[in-house]
């Protein structure tokens, strides 16, 4: 196989695509390098299984620890189940790729992205997405690509393409934009209250680079000239479809016009499907093999009528207008023993959010190729089967739950106080109790209220809204049926002042700037309306924490005093923790975080920490304990590990015959530091 290589410059770093040398038995493969970050991308295709009725696209993104020159932790010393970062990156790549396969295509397609080298500067997700596009384009799969993606940051008011990890820390925006040469196909990112215009400008800025990267891929594709599957969609019996459509349309239209609740609507549509299928069963055996096609025809008719009513009459199946929010109800402080709680209900979508405050030891340690870091804010999203009235096993979080949780986390994070100002570790859990669309946005609303209920300082209330589009009609606060039949799923979250998180997926070939502009404007109106409802219940963070939340204090000590606080073998810090039932975290920069169950324990622990780390100062008065009596005076401990001498002449304003006439070992005595001599000895007095 011949090797082909092409490259271009993207923001001062070489983006290189190579093919024909590695993974040659895969249907399509390529090696993508950006800086010293290297990704192997492969795509394999297998024929659809008999009776398969969905498109089984699998996207796997895996980071090898050797890419960063590390050996995995744990007992087995090898990579295990995907980390959250890998899961999120796989979803990020899947979303813009999936819409570009022909409708009805059912072959099994697996795209595998393996990170082989990481330079610690460039995130591998962007080259991996580009790799997925070129590998799929080189494979036999009938992929309508290529596509490309870039990350957009904004530093000091200027947009930047593919910022490094270090630059992202300084950036007010982290937006991934994927698209074709003509239009955007996917958005994902967060910002520090960006305006709608800023988001649109960032997308336009990205589009120029996307076109260049697509041209690079086209050069490789042209040189390789891959053989593609000549996919022809299965022919449908149009006369049968029209016949079923004519039979089903009046009843389906009647159901949709009735503005029924979700379950009532589902049961009414199910009755129509069952009646039509039964009527064809009764026509004779020759119709039995056509029942699956008849069922598909009824479901397609449902989709077409839903779209037609929205397009021609601006009528939605729940009776709302296109720009109308569902009714919102919410409350806080439901759960007596939690640190903060809230319920957000938007008719048939409901989230229960609970906030828990922890200490530094509760932080999540994240081991990624970009390096190890600690997370002090986590938002976890759970979607139990009962939320949609189903009975199935409840297992650990799947890709969707991880993705929805991270989106909500991104939306709220910019509004939290800094770790220095609020040293607690914060965990929010959103349990979806009911779902009929936009449950991730409900998690943002409930999460914001639960944080305020817990007393967590939030700069501003955060809310989210799910938008959709059907035949160029923008839909506010989309429900499940509209999501299923629509062209776009567009989630926008933020405050009164701007956008903090955004996510867009589409089922068509692309979305123009004009449509995005309208969608963002309509989303802003909905977001402000939602915030107004939330603030009727709670408009600012509570001034006091729950009595069940840990009490925290932060001290700053000199770095050369860290050893004195910890003590030999941890003796000193263990004593404080055991005697007072507190927890103490000491950071390398001298920050000491103390957590306790009561204010009394907290203050006592603060005093003990200061005792181990403060220096004795001449002229300052101390309450000390007599440690030892000598003929010439008494040794008094004024701070932990710091004893001074009260000479017999300094015990009283008169002549003292014996030290024991004044003091006994164990006495508590008030003394003043006279001096610390050049040998470091502390001289004290009771009379000065």
Q: Specify the CATH number for the domain of residue 277.
A: 1.10.10
Residue 258 is encoded by which pair of tokens? Answer: 């009735």
Structure confidence at residue 294 (pLDDT)? 93
Same domain, 206 and 63: yes
pLDDT at 73: 78
Tokens 């955007």 correspond to 184
pLDDT at 371 over 90: no
pLDDT at position 366: 86
Region 377-402 average pLDDT: 94
Query: Are 305 and 362 within one domain?
Result: no
Q: What is the pLDDT of residues 132-158, one digit of tens each?
A: 999 999 999 999 989 999 999 999 999
From residue 537, how far is each of 329, 449, 450, 532 by CA, in Å?
Answer: 9, 9, 11, 9
Confidence of residue 506 (pLDDT cuts 50, 70, 90): confident
Phi, psi of 303 (to 5 degrees): -65, -45
Q: Of 63, 7, 68, nearest to 32 (Cα)?
A: 7
User: Is residue 321 a part of any domain in this protein?
Assistant: no
Range of the domain at 637: 621-685
Torsion of CA 243, 244, 245, 250, to 10 degrees: 110
Single residue among 266, 282, 313 that ends a domain in this structure: 313
**Position 610 confidence tier, pLDDT thresholds 50, 70, 90:** confident
Residue 615: per-residue pLDDT? 84
pLDDT digits (tens, 9 = 90+) for 340-363: 999 999 999 999 999 999 988 889
Most confident residue range from 165-169, 579-583, 641-645: 165-169
Find the range with the poorest average confidence among 259-263, 366-370, 540-544. Answer: 366-370
pLDDT one-digit tens code per residue, 626-663: 999 999 999 999 887 789 999 999 999 999 889 998 99
CATH value at residue 594: 3.30.1370.10
pLDDT score recorded for residue 53: 80
> Domain boundary at 535, 569, 596, which?
535
pLDDT band at residue 111 under the 50/70/90 scheme: very high
d(CA 468, CA 129): 25
Look at the chain and count its residues: 688
Distance CA 271, CA 265 (A): 10
Residue 501: the pLDDT is 98
Q: Is 612 exposed, middle or buried (0-12, 13-18, 19+ CB in 10 A)?
A: buried
Rounded Cα distance, 36 and 162, in Å: 14
pLDDT of 48: 87
Q: In the block, which residue shows the tokens 């209220």?
A: 449
User: Using one digit for the tens of pLDDT, what is the confidence trace for 224-271?
Assistant: 999 999 888 888 889 999 999 999 999 999 999 999 999 999 999 999
Boundary (domain end) residue, out of 263, 285, 313: 313
Q: What pLDDT, on the 0 to 100 scale, is given for residue 249?
A: 96
In a domain, 544, yes or no: no
Backbone Cα Rg of the chain: 33
In a domain, 332, yes or no: yes
User: Distances from the Cα of 369 to the Cαs of 62, 83, 116, 238, 321, in angstroms?
Assistant: 11, 11, 11, 53, 47
Q: What residues pair up with 675 in beta bridges, in sequence order?
A: 683
Position 33 scores a pLDDT of 98
Collapse the DSSP code of 392 into the 3-class scheme (helix H, G, I; strand E, B; otherwise coil) and give the result: coil
**Range list of H helices, 333-463:** 399-412, 439-453
Span 436-459, mean pLDDT?
97
Any idea what the CATH number is for the domain that residue 636 is in?
Answer: 2.40.50.140
Kindly state whether residue 396 falls inside one of the protein's structural domains: yes
* Statement to judge: residues 643 and 606 lie in one domain: no
CATH number of the domain encompassing residue 339: 3.30.230.70
Judgement on whether residues 13 and 126 belong to the same structural domain of the protein: yes
Q: Quick check: is 358 in a domain?
A: yes
104 and 160 part of one domain: yes
Q: What is the pLDDT of residue 397?
A: 92
546 domain residue, yes or no: no
Q: What is the pLDDT of residues 63-72, one digit of tens each?
A: 999 999 998 8
Q: Is the pLDDT of residue 667 over 90?
A: yes
Same domain, 213 and 264: no
**Does 300 share its domain with 165?**
no
What's the rounded Cα separation, in Å, for the pair 680 and 227? 85
Q: Which pLDDT does position 491 carry in this prediction?
A: 97
The pLDDT assigned to 600 comes to 87
Q: How many domains does the chain have?
A: 5
**Can you give the pLDDT at residue 384?**
96
Residues 172 and 84 in one domain: yes
663: in domain: yes
426 and 491 co-located in one domain: yes
Asked whether the predicted pLDDT for residue 500 surpasses 80, the reply is yes
Clarify whether residues 635 and 581 are in a common domain.
no
Report the pLDDT value the prediction gives residue 375, as an integer from 0 to 100: 93
Given a cut of 90, whether residue 274 has pLDDT beyond it is: yes
Q: What percent of the chain has pLDDT over 70?
A: 100
Same domain (yes/no): 349, 494: yes
Same domain, 588 and 640: no
Instruction: Render the burial of 58-69: b for 16+ CB within 10 Å, e for the rest.
Output: ebbbbbbbebbe
The answer to the question of residue 232 being in a domain is no
CB 504, CB 491: distance < 8 Å: yes
pLDDT of residue 553: 87
What was the pLDDT predicted at 125?
97
């Amino acid at each position: 196989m011949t090797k082909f290589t092409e490259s271009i410059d993207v923001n001062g770093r070489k983006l290189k695509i190579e093919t024909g040398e590695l993974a040659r038995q895969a249907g399509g493969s390529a090696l993508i390098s950006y800086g010293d970050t290297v990704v192997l991308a492969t795509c394999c295709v297998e024929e659809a299984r008999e009776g398969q009725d969905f498109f089984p696209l699998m996207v796997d993104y895996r980071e090898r620890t050797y890419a960063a020159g590390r050996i995995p932790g744990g007992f087995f010393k090898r990579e295990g189940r995907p980390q959250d970062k890998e899961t999120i990156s796989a979803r990020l790549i899947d979303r813009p790729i999936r819409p570009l396969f022909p409708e009805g295509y059912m072959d099994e397609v697996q795209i595998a992205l393996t990170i082989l080298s990481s330079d610690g500067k460039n995130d591998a997700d962007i080259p991996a997405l580009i790799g997925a596009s070129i590998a799929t384009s080189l494979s036999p799969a009938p992929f309508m690509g290529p596509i490309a993606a870039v990350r957009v940051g904004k530093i000091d008011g200027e947009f930047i393409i593919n910022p490094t990890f270090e630059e992202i820390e300084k950036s007010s925006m982290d937006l991934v934009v994927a698209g074709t040469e003509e239009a955007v196909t996917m958005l994902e990112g967060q910002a520090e209250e960006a305006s709608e215009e800023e988001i649109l400008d960032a997308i336009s800025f990205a589009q120029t680079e996307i076109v260049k990267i697509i041209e690079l891929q086209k050069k490789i594709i042209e040189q390789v000239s891959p053989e593609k599957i000549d996919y022809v969609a299965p022919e449908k019996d149009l006369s049968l479809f029209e016949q079923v459509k004519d039979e089903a349309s009046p009843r389906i239209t009647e159901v949709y016009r009735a503005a029924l609740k979700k379950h009532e609507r589902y049961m009414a549509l199910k009755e129509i499907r069952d009646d039509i299928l039964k009527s064809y069963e009764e026509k004779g055996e020759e119709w039995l093999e056509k029942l699956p096609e008849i069922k598909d025809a009824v479901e397609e008719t449902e989709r077409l009528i839903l779209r037609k009513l929205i397009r021609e009459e601006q009528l939605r199946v729940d009776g709302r207008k296109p720009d109308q929010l569902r009714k919102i109800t919410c409350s806080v402080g439901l759960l007596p023993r939690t640190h903060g709680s809230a319920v957000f209900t938007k008719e048939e979508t409901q989230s229960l959010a609970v906030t828990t405050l922890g200490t530094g030891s509760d932080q999540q340690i994240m081991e990624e190729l970009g390096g190890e870091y600690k997370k002090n804010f986590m938002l976890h999203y759970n979607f139990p089967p009962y939320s949609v009235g189903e009975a199935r096993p409840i297992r650990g979080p799947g890709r969707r739950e991880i993705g929805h949780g991270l989106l909500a986390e991104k939306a709220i994070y910019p509004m939290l106080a800094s770790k220095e100002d609020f040293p607690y570790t914060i965990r929010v859990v959103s349990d979806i109790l009911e779902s009929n669309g936009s449950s991730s946005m409900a998690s943002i609303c409930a999460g914001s209220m639960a944080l305020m209920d817990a007393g967590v300082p939030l700069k501003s209330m955060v809310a989210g809204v799910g938008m959709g589009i059907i035949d160029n009609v923008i839909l506010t606060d989309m429900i499940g049926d509209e999501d299923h039949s629509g062209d776009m799923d567009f989630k926008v979250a933020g405050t009164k002042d701007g956008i903090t998180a955004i996510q867009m997926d589409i089922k068509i070939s692309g979305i123009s700037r004009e449509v995005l502009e309208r969608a963002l404007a309509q989303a802003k109106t909905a977001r402000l309306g939602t915030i107004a409802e939330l603030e009727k219940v709670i408009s600012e963070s509570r001034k006091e924490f729950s009595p069940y939340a840990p009490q925290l204090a932060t001290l700053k000590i000199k770095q050369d005093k860290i050893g004195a606080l910890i003590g030999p073998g941890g003796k000193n810090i263990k004593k404080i923790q055991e005697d007072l039932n507190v927890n103490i975290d000491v950071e390398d920069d001298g920050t000491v975080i103390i957590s306790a169950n009561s204010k009394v324990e907290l203050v006592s622990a603060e005093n003990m920490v200061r005792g181990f780390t403060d220096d004795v100062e001449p002229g300052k008065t101390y309450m000390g304990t007599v440690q030892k009596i000598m003929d010439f005076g008494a040794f008094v401990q004024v701070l932990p590990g710091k004893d001074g001498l009260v000479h017999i002449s300094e015990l009283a304003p008169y002549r003292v015959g014996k030290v024991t006439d004044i003091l006994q070992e164990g006495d508590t005595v008030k003394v003043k530091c006279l001096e610390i001599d050049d040998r470091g000895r502390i001289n004290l007095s009771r009379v000065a």
